[in-house]
Amino acid sequence: MLMLRLAWRNIWRQPRRTQLTVSAMVFSNMLLVFMIAMQTGMYSMMIDNTLRLTSGYYQLQAVDYLDHPTIYKTIANGQQLASNIRKEIGDHVSARALGFALFSSEQRSYAAQIIGVD
């Protein structure tokens, strides 16, 4: 109890120092809340933009594609499957093909990713 009385008296011994400390703490907490909210919004926006531009929210792949990815493993009747999905969820379906290539010149070789969107 004695410690609390001494601490309370010491807080109000220098009121300007106390007000400055409290205002600095309030300002830093407000800044922290603002930055966390902005960062969370940026994360969700980046995830949404990445999914819209690249693979999308869902992917349909051939059965063994993830274990052994090659360009020859395709989905049979892809157009029919895409039209069935369009009927179910709307017009946000596209067929995509990904492949990798190596371009070379006399001086150097370049790796490239080829993306085909229907």
| Residue 91 predicted with pLDDT over 80 | no
pLDDT reported for residue 23: 97
- Locate tokens 């809340």: which residue? 33
Please list, residue by residue across 50-66, b when 16 or more beta carbons sit within 10 angstroms of its beta carbon and e when fewer do. Answer: eeeeeeeeeeeeeeeee
For residue 37, the model assigns a pLDDT of 95
Which of the pair, 95 or 25, is modelled with greater confidence? 25
Tell me: the pLDDT tens digits for 52-62? Answer: 877 777 888 88
Least confident piece of the model among 30-34, 45-49, 54-58 = 54-58
Give buried/exposed letters for 91-101 (b at 16+ CB in 10 A, else e).
eebeeeeeeee
- pTM tops 0.85: no
- Residue 87: pLDDT above 90? no
